Amino acid sequence: MKKIFLLLAILVSGSAWAQTNNWNDSPNNWNNSLNNYNNSPQNYNNSPLNFNNSPQNYNATNGVYDNSGNRIGYQTQSPQGVTNVYDNNGNRIGYSPAGSKP
């Protein structure tokens, strides 16, 4: 009985490890990395200085809002398909890997 329980515990922990270490979702993957220029706020397409990302642009379609309706940032998409989320100051606060579903 102990052997069965130990084997079951190993299988469950092994499958949980595989789910949490998906390379496509990892921030260490170059496509998702902040060090990749396409994901960097140094890239003008991602910069808060770009009027398309500015909170003063009321026609911007890439704003990110909290539950109260306050604009907390903006999102951009890199050429690799990674969706980057930045705060209004241009600090990357999150990302969604290419090919992931919202």
Over residues 44-100, the pLDDT tens digits come to 999 999 999 999 998 999 999 999 999 999 999 999 999 999 999 999 999 999 877
Sequence-ordered strand ranges (E) for 16-62: none
CA dihedral angle for residue 54, residue 62, residue 83, residue 73, rounded to 10 degrees? 50
Q: How far apart are CA 17 and CA 96, in angstroms?
A: 20
- Amino acid 89: pLDDT: 95
Dihedral sign for Cα 93, 38, 81, 88, please.
positive
- Amino acid 99: pLDDT: 79
Q: How far apart are CA 45 and CA 48, in angstroms?
A: 9
The per-residue pLDDT of the chain, averaged, comes to: 84
* Residue 101: pLDDT band with limits 50, 70, 90: low
Stated pTM of the model: 0.73
